[in-house]
Amino acid sequence: MELSNKNEYIETFYNLIKEEKCSEYSGELKVGVDLGTANIVISVVDECGKAVAGASFGASVVKDGLVVDYIGAVEIVKKLKKKVEDILGVELTHGATAVPPGTIGGNAKAIANVLESADIEVTNVIDEPTAAATALGIKDGAVVDVGGGTTGISILKNGEVIYTADEPTGGTHMTLVLAGNYKLSFEEAEKVKKDKNKEKDNFIIIKPVIEKMAAIVKRHIQGYDVEKIYIVGGACSFTEFEKVFIKEIGIETIKPKRPLLVTPLGIALNCAK
């Protein structure tokens, strides 16, 4: 599958966030709020799916779909909502959100409650890999969302999700390995992980974590006719990440540009009226 158009789409959204501006749009706006383990992102698209505006903030108020700092999460969403509203010049009243696959009951409700407390009426709650599949226009294959604490998987056949799973192991585990190796605090190791100048050395250290993620995916897709794997999420941003999956699983693995922003766009696209 050729992702060049989708990469341009994602890059456009990235630039809107970076430059704090909006694009022209038509019809009703659709809003997505991604409460990630490492980042909270608000995305806005129009009724045609065109990226219109967005905002992002690094935070640790949610862990693997569990809200660990409710007040903090609400305050961040309120601030991001106000920022995007100021950029657009309109009020955002409705939105969708997402949770890791298998999140049920009170945990999923707590995520929705964060939006409601920030004056955003929740119109849809979708699982994260399925949201990513929407943004990439994927009809067949496996979508893997590598989050801060978990690796989520959705398998699609003819546009329908036929299987989902989510298991521990994500960006947090990479940081813990780096912290142990370099004798650093978690916070210091997180900064080192994001240092592009140290990526080559860091990758050698965290490669076993990625191999474990690949093993998780390989186990879950057994018995399904999966010809391609698409990986998204901030934790897969390492340049060589997908090559580990290809070696370990033996299936073509594709990583779009700006993988952190794929799921937020997909959440907005799944915002019901």
pLDDT value of position 37: 77
Q: What letters, b where the CB count within 10 A reaches 16 and e where it falls short, cover 24-57?
A: ebeeebbbbbbbbbbbbbbbbbbeeebbbbbbbe
Instruction: Summarize the confidence of residues 248-267 as an average pLDDT.
Output: 95
CA 104 – CA 77 distance, rounded (Å) = 22
pLDDT value of position 26: 87
Q: What is the pLDDT of residues 238-249, one digit of tens each?
A: 999 999 999 999
Helix, strand, coil percent content, the chain, rounded in steps of 5: 45, 25, 30
Architecture of domain 134-257: 2-Layer Sandwich (3.30)
Q: What is the pLDDT of residues 100-137, one digit of tens each?
A: 877 656 677 888 999 999 999 999 999 888 899 999 99
User: Picking from 35-39, 164-168, 262-266, which range would have the lowest pLDDT averaged per residue?
Assistant: 35-39
pLDDT value of position 99: 87
Q: To the nearest whole number, what is the mean pLDDT of the chain?
A: 92
Looking at the predicted structure, is the pLDDT value of residue 259 above 60?
yes
pLDDT value of position 106: 63
Torsions phi, psi for 97 (to 5 deg) = -140, 180
Give 130's contacts (C-beta < 8 A, 6+ positions apart): 101, 143, 154, 156, 161, 164, 266, 270
Instruction: Summarize the confidence of residues 259-268 as an average pLDDT.
Output: 95
The residue that leads in pLDDT, 106 or 18, is 18
pLDDT value of position 219: 96
The ranges assigned to domains in the chain are 4-130+260-269, 134-257
CATH of domain 4-130+260-269: 3.30.420.40
Looking at the predicted structure, is the pLDDT value of residue 1 above 50?
no
Give counts: helices (H), strands (E), the chain.
9, 12
Q: What is the pLDDT of residues 144-195, one digit of tens each?
A: 999 888 898 999 999 899 999 988 899 999 999 999 999 999 999 999 999 9
Q: Are 242 and 254 in contact (CB under 8 A)?
A: yes
Q: Which amino acid is located at 112 in the chain? A: A
Q: pTM of the prediction?
A: 0.90
The pLDDT > 70 percentage for the chain reads: 96
Of the candidates 41, 62, 164, 46, the one whose C-alpha atom is nearest the C-alpha of residue 107 is 62
pLDDT value of position 248: 97
pLDDT band for position 50 (50/70/90)?
very high
